[in-house]
Amino acid sequence: MPLHAFTLGCLTWGLCLLQISAEDWDGFTQHGALCDEDDSLPLASFLAAMRAQLSLYAQRLLANKMQQAIAMCVPLACILVALFSHCLCKSLRVETRAP
């Protein structure tokens, strides 16, 4: 669905309105690559975009935790974070482009 239709649907159903800028929407839809010919975001593409966002969030979280562990000079923590990172990346290894 286009951004304006998403916003209108949230308002119509009384759902909490998600504030998203046009620039963020463009990034979320991979600059329109996940949109169909009507410039809408089908469910499969939406799920792919959400997986990609979750993966990016996990990467940021792990990078921050790794920096904290290094700053605190905790060698075991670094190893655990690296192992966790490896496991998380394997579990999130999904196609981020819509079929």
Specify the pLDDT at position 77: 66
Report yes or no: 92 and 58 within 8 Å, Cβ to Cβ: yes
Cβ atoms of 7 and 17 closer than 8 Å: yes
Determine contact, residues 82/74, Cβ cutoff 8 Å.
Answer: no
Angstrom CA distances, 23 to 20, 27, 55, 72, 98, stand at: 8, 6, 20, 37, 20
User: For 11-54, how does the pLDDT look when each residue is reduced to its tens digit (9 = 90+)?
Assistant: 777 766 667 888 998 998 999 999 998 888 888 998 888 888 88
d(CA 25, CA 30): 8
